[in-house]
Amino acid sequence: MAAKPNVPQNLVFDADDTLWHSEIHFREAFAEFTGVVGVADPALSSETIKQAVTAAELRLIVTDGYGRRPYVRALHEAIDVLCVNGKAAALHVEVDRIGTMLISRHCELLPDVAETLALLSRRHKLLIFTKGQRDEQMQKLARSGLEPYFTRVETPREKDVAAYRRLLLDADLAPDRTWMIGNSPRSDVNPAVRAGLRAVYIPYEHTWELDYEEINADDAIVTVGSFRSLLDLF
State residue 145's pLDDT score. 96
Q: What is the mean pLDDT of residues 118-141?
A: 95
- Tens of pLDDT along 54-109? 999 999 999 999 999 999 999 999 999 988 667 788 899 999 999 999 999 999 99
Q: Please state, in angstroms and rounded to a whole number, the distance separating the CA atoms of residues 180 and 162.
A: 14
State residue 3's pLDDT score. 64
Kindly tell me if the per-residue pLDDT of 227 is higher than 70. Answer: yes
- Are residues 28 and 141 in contact, defined by beta-carbon separation less than 8 angstroms? no
pTM: 0.92
What share of the chain has pLDDT > 70, as a percent? 97
State residue 5's pLDDT score. 58
What is the distance between the terminal CA atoms of the chain, rounded to a whole angstrom?
Answer: 10
Q: Please state, in angstroms and rounded to a whole number, the distance separating the CA atoms of residues 78 and 23.
A: 19
pLDDT tier for residue 111 given thresholds of 50, 70 and 90: very high
State residue 10's pLDDT score. 97
Strand order in the sheet with 152-154: 152-154, 125-129, 10-13, 178-182, 198-201, 221-223
Q: Do domains 10-21+107-233 and 23-104 have the same CATH topology?
A: no
C-alpha pair distances (Å), 141 with each of 54, 128, 135: 27, 10, 10
23-104: CATH class: mainly alpha
Instruction: Show me where the domains of the chain are located.
Output: 10-21+107-233, 23-104
Among the ranges given (50-54, 111-115, 198-202, 204-208), the one the predictor scored with the smallest mean pLDDT = 204-208
Among the ranges given (31-35, 62-66, 174-178), the one the predictor scored with the smallest mean pLDDT = 62-66
Average pLDDT, the chain: 92
State residue 50's pLDDT score. 94
Kindly tell me if the per-residue pLDDT of 213 is higher than 90. Answer: no
Kindly tell me if the per-residue pLDDT of 40 is higher than 90. Answer: no
Q: What is the mean pLDDT of residues 21-42?
A: 93
- Are residues 53 and 23 in contact, defined by beta-carbon separation less than 8 angstroms? no
State residue 30's pLDDT score. 96
Q: What is the mean pLDDT of residues 137-162?
A: 96
Least Cα distance to 181 among 157, 197, 161, 196 occurs for: 197
10-21+107-233: CATH class: alpha beta
